[in-house]
Chain A
Amino acid sequence: MIADSQALGIAGIGVYLPVEGVSNFARMNQFEVDERFINEKLGVRRTLVKDADEATSDLAVRAVRALEAGSAIDLAAVECLIVVTQNPDYNLPHTAAIVHGKLGLPERCAAFDISLGCSGWVYGLSVINAFMAQNGMQSGLLVTADPYSKIVDPNDKNTVMLFGDAAAATWIHTAPRFCSGRFTFGTIGADYEHLICRNGQLSMNGRGIFDFAARRVPEDIRLLLEMNQVAIEDVDRFLLHQGSRYMLRTIAARLHVAEERAAFVAAEYGNTVSSSIPIMLAEMLDDATVRTVVVSGFGVGLSWSSGILHRVA
């Protein structure tokens, strides 16, 4: 049976947040910052860190187990699995194959990785919808797991105070709660060095990333709304990648939307890269007052993608 591509969408989300974390208030002396800077500018009070022996695939599996516990998904019926990560277990094989094995998914299940950072979930949502529709699939998994604790320098204020570990599993099914419209995509490859991992260590040009996000994201969201013929006042929530509180406030100001509609909510876990948007959306799946949602991911690449989600009646 060929699935109706119009009906494919998000049916559930499972989230895995590691228990262990590090308070940024404990780092104030080391990095010469005060409480106000942490609360008002970074927005991140605590970053979560996975166990040293936890592999990326383990985080992914735990997110899928959380999805299983909170939804009607039948793993035996999953036909495709996409893992978004740039911190895989190994250079090869692809992490999706390892996750496939650990979950015991069917042999007829397609499994592949997407190498993207903070734009990865939005890109992945478009890819998995199209892939499933093209191939008549009815049940698929989009998993984001990109633990930056593997590559963050503990002495680098620019990154260690921001990034946290997490994973999210998004179930795509023919009985969805949210369906997506058209997406936008973009790349500025010339600036790839602004956020890069060299010799196993992450470095970030904070100003370069801030300029990129402040310039591109508001104009991209305006384009997205125009493409989808949605008025900005009809958007209930703007789920923006949780780069930092200051970044989100800047984007919200440039979009002329109240900060509450484009909130920074990652205070207790940090910037979880491609998992930041599905973690937020998971909290809204049962909130019927949230009907129209803009999602926008931006970062490594430099790359960005935005999409619009409509609640299915």
Chain B
Amino acid sequence: MTVTTEQILEIIRKADIPEIDADTLQSDVTFRDQGIDSLDAMSIYLNVEETFGFKIPDEDIEGLNSVAALAAYASRAAA
């Protein structure tokens, strides 16, 4: 299954996460460099998990620092 960055952005948009504007998020720039802190990132992970029905283990979180990285991960995990 291929999960696109647009799908991830749409999930973030629909999730109505406080203080995140999905329309201005850049897919290949790290969350941190776009002012998204660890709490906002947790919200993103949670909404992606709920959408695709998988669980991201804590040990996988470190590398999932952008929309693009999350799309690639979701493509593998949701396969």
**Minimum CB–CB distance for A159 against chain B, Å:** 15
Question: Complex: how many Å from CA A246 to CA B17?
Answer: 10
Complex contact A253–B46 (CB within 8 A): no
A185 contacts the other chain (Cβ, under 8 Å)?
A: no
Interface size of B by CB at 8 A reads 15
Complex contact A41–B39 (CB within 8 A): yes
Complex contact A205–B46 (CB within 8 A): no
Contact with B along A246-274 (1 / 0, CB 8 A): 10011001000000000000000000000
Closest to B50 in A: A215
A286 contacts the other chain (Cβ, under 8 Å)?
A: no
Partner of A215, one of B37, B45, B46: B46
What residues on A are CB-neighbors of B46 within 8 Å?
Answer: 210-211, 214-215
Complex contact A210–B39 (CB within 8 A): yes
Closest to A42 in B: B39
Chain A interface SS verdict (over half): helix
What residues on A are CB-neighbors of B45 within 8 Å?
Answer: 207
Question: Complex: how many Å from CA A215 to CA B39?
Answer: 15
Within 8 A of A (CB), among B24-63: 37-39, 42-43, 45-46, 49-50, 58, 61
Question: Complex: how many Å from CA A41 to CA B20?
Answer: 13
Question: Complex: how many Å from CA A205 to CA B38?
Answer: 13
A192 contacts the other chain (Cβ, under 8 Å)?
A: no
List 20 contacting pairs A-B, 8 Å CB cutoff, sorted by A.
A37-B37, A40-B19, A41-B37, A41-B39, A205-B58, A206-B38, A206-B42, A207-B61, A208-B58, A210-B46, A211-B46, A211-B49, A214-B43, A214-B46, A246-B18, A246-B39, A249-B18, A250-B18, A253-B17, A253-B18
Interface residues of chain A, those whose CB is within 8 Å of chain B, are 37, 40-41, 205-208, 210-211, 214-215, 246, 249-250, 253
Q: What 8 A-B pairs have minimum CB-CB distances, sorted nearest first?
A: A246-B39, A249-B18, A210-B42, A41-B39, A207-B42, A253-B16, A211-B46, A214-B46
